[in-house]
Amino acid sequence: MSPEGVSDAISPSDMRSDNRSSKRRAVNEAYDGGAITSGRRCDTSGLDANEAFARQHGFTGTPVIVRDDGAVLHGFRPREFLETWLKEKVS
């Protein structure tokens, strides 16, 4: 039991700190040859759908940007180029 007026709740910053130290501990254990365990399961359905779309349309590299009008841009481009390319969009 906490002293009077002190909450038992864990603050968000405490949780982040605990999470960071937990991750650090897991990485150190892995580097030391320990077992690698998986964490909680995460929902990858959005990533799976994105990957399926890319495969279906023959996109094999990153980055690939598809505009609303269907124009496709493969590969890295400087910011200025991207800004111009996005403004050229055909409605």
- Contacts of residue 10, defined as CB under 8 A and 6 or more positions apart, other chains included, come to 18
Output the pLDDT for position 2: 40
Please give the Cα distance from 86 to 16 (Å, whole number): 38
pLDDT in tens, 62-79: 899 988 898 999 999 999
Beta bridge partners of 72: 66
How would residue 6 be classed by pLDDT, with cut points 50, 70 and 90?
Answer: very low
pLDDT in tens, 32-51: 888 877 777 888 999 999 89
